[in-house]
Amino acid sequence: MADDFDIGGRSLASRLLIGSALYPSPAIMEQSIRASGAEIVTVSLRREAADGQAGAAFWSIVRDLGVSVLPNTAGCRTVREAVATAEMARELFETNWIKLEVIGDDYSLQPDVFGLVEAAAELVKRGFTVFPYCTEDLVVAKRLVEAGCSILMPWGAPIGTGKGLINPYALGQLRHAFPDIPLIVDAGIGTPSHAMQAMELGYDGVLLNTAVAKAADPVGMASAFKAAVAGGRLAHLAGRMPERDLARPSTPVIGTPFWHQAD
């Protein structure tokens, strides 16, 4: 049974999104992305000239991969800066997709949720498909949807920490509140089991970077995440068994013979 991933007006097979930063080399980045099976790759706006040597080499790899590019506004701390960066990214990368980040705290890299909602509303007006990097807060999510976001990307944990899903209850509440909106866990994923947990919660996808790029074997870890995301999705569709407070034998006891010791 087909289970395509419909997001941003496109239908994809892979539910794993992957970043393009921090790899030991461009060659390992390319091999890792291929091994992951990801069809969406996040990229930061390059401040160097578009025809610069480093930028040209990077784009050559991305074009050869044949993936959809998701530019981001990483490092932006104001609404004005985020909107301007998004406009430059649209021109450079030739896409209306934008992963919107408006950072409010330098230590945790937690989003400035007030600025995030304001920037999202402005970018939607300008014709962008906004992928907002947000917290797992339900009210913030509602405000982003009201602003016109058709996708939500709550964090699992602060960026780069690898701590996994620190608040699975709240993430589950978001899934329940927005059954028809694509939800992607973005940030904090450290191991394939974290990604599988997110998918088992019913999330539509997982976005990660550091967990693969900084692994001892990035290519092998990318393959592991590919399998974990696929397995977690299958588990969600299959439907888990209900939890119970008391033990219940898996082997029926009806008809089991009993022996009584003679006095």
- The rounded radius of gyration (Å) of the Cα atoms in the chain is 21
3-state secondary structure of 114: helix
DSSP 212-250: HHTSSSHHHHHHHHHHHHHHHHHHHHH-PPPP-SS---S
Q: Is 209 annotated as ligand-binding?
A: yes
Active-site position among 99, 125, 142, 214: 99
Q: Is 82 annotated as ligand-binding?
A: no
Pairing label, strands 97-100, 129-134: parallel
In 65-116, which ranges are E strands? 68-72, 97-100
Distance separating alpha carbons of residues 220 and 236, to the nearest angstrom = 25
- Whether residue 99 lies in the annotated active site: yes
Pairing label, strands 10-12, 5-7: antiparallel
Which tokens in the block code for residue 35?
Answer: 């091994």
Pairing label, strands 129-134, 153-154: parallel
Q: Is 160 annotated as ligand-binding?
A: yes
Which tokens in the block code for residue 148?
Answer: 């016109």
Known binding site: residues?
A: 160, 187-188, 209-210
Known binding site for 1-deoxy-D-xylulose 5-phosphate: residues?
A: 160, 187-188, 209-210
Q: Which are the catalytic amino acids? A: 99
